[in-house]
Structure formats: C-alpha cells, structure tokens
Amino acid sequence: MNPFFRSTCCLVTAASLAGCGGGESSTNNSGSATSANQATANSTSTVAAVTPAPGPAVSPNEKRMTIEALPATQAGAGVAVGSLHMVRSASGIETDGLGGGCMVFEDPASAVCHKDSDCRVPKYISGAGGPWAYCADQKCWIKPADKAFCWKSRYSTPQQALQVGKPQSTPKVTLASLPAQLFQGPAKNQIRARVIACLNGKYKTGDAPPCAGGTGKRSDDIGDAKTLTK
C-alpha cells in the first residue's frame, strides 16, 4: 500500500474518480483525465531501511474512515485478483462506506507521465467496456474495462457498503486473456498490476458521488505494484 496517494481532502476530477469509485463510469480513450493522485518521482538514491514508529492507536469508536488498496495477488497459476478495505482513521472522512476499487496494469510502452491526462488508453483495447488510463509512479496504468476489473458499491442494488476491516475483492482475471502488449520481461509473460481505490464521503441523494466527480470529501489510495506471471 502506498500511503502517499491516500487523501481525505476534497479532490477534483470526475475522470479518475469514475474509474475507481462509486459513480457512473465513462471511457477516456482520448486520455482526458486529471487525477488528484499524481505520481511522485522515483528516487535514484539509496536510503537505509527505517522501521517507522507505530502510530497512535485508533479508537474502536472512531467514525472516520479511509480506504486502503491492498497489493494485487496471484490467485493461482495465471490468475490475478485485487482487493481493498475500509479502516478507521482519525485523519479519515465521515462516510456511508460507498466506494470501490479496480485492478490496473502498467502500459510498458508508455512514456513518463505526471498526470492522468498524459496517459491514453491504447488503441488495441476496446472502448466498449469502459477502459481508463491513470498515471502513477510516472508510468501509465490501464484499466481494460470496468466491471470485469472492479468492485464497486454501485454494482449492487441497493448499493453495498464497505464494512470496517472486511476486504472486498475485484473479479479474478486470467492473465492470458489480457492483450499481449501489456506483458514484459524476456519471455513477455510478466505483467505489472496494482489496485486503485476510492471511498466517498457523505453526499446527498441525487448528487454525484465525490468519487465520480461530485463535490465533497473522498479518500483515495493506490496499492503497491506487483509483478505477476501468466
């Protein structure tokens, strides 16, 4: 989990929010997205590992929450799955637990990026399923489709709220079904995957959820990138 990307302030841009949160999804084949989760530069210096001091204990009665995108995992030979969960945090937001997360894959051919609008969904990926492109760690990451790669509260009727500490998983993905252009390594059989997640703050009925470009607070997280083998 990459703590830098977690945010509990009022964030902008419908584009990246629609890709991972609780609102309606759209396609950004033109790459016209701007995310609050802009990537930080990769450091080339060597830093000794330091074990951080434990943070203050969180009260079991704490009402504020954040979302955590957990690392993507290999759920069997050639199968990947992502997960996310909601946790209590004194620096979190008041929420009804509505949100979601998606598994995304690094585009090996992408140039250095600094914001989502620097990235585009490759032409070899169909626009029919609601693909999206994101920028993280100065690389472009692709969500090939929406429902096939995401868990979202809005997929259920009524909407399914996240429960504290209970992970929700994205659909399992057979890696061999992904476009060959996303694979890398000497044998072209490895792919880089991670989870992006968004938690909506409270919002009024009829308003757009914050994770879909509405006003209001939200919590975001981008999980650690993992290399998986098909």
Residue 60 confidence (pLDDT): 82
Average pLDDT estimate for 74-98: 96
Residue 58 confidence (pLDDT): 77
Residue 134 confidence (pLDDT): 95
- Whether the per-residue pLDDT at 37 is higher than 60: the answer is no
Residue 21 confidence (pLDDT): 57
- Whether the per-residue pLDDT at 202 is higher than 90: the answer is yes
Out of 12-21, 27-36, 214-223, the most confident range is 214-223
45-80 residue pLDDT tens:
333 444 555 556 778 889 999 999 999 999 999 999
Average pLDDT estimate for 24-41: 38
Q: What percent of the chain has pLDDT over 70?
A: 76
176-198 residue pLDDT tens:
999 999 999 999 999 999 999 99
Confidence of residue 111 (pLDDT cuts 50, 70, 90): very high
- Whether the per-residue pLDDT at 31 is higher than 60: the answer is no
122-174 residue pLDDT tens:
999 999 999 999 999 999 999 999 999 999 999 999 999 999 999 999 999 99
- Whether the per-residue pLDDT at 20 is higher than 70: the answer is no
Least confident span in 7-16, 81-90, 107-116, 200-209 = 7-16
Per residue, the 3-state secondary structure of the chain, as one string, reads: CEEEEEECCCCCCHHHHHHHCCCCCCCCCCCCCCCCCCCCCCCCCCCCCCCCCCCCCCCCCCCCEEEEEEEEEECCCCEEEEEEEEEECCCCECCCCCEEEEEEEECCCCCCCCCHHHCCCCCCCCCCCCCEEEEECCEEEEECCCCCCEEEHHHCCCCCCCCECCCEECCCEEHHHCCHHHCECCCCCEEEEEEEEEEECCCCCCCCCHHHCCCCCEEEEECCCEEEEC
- Whether the per-residue pLDDT at 32 is higher than 50: the answer is no
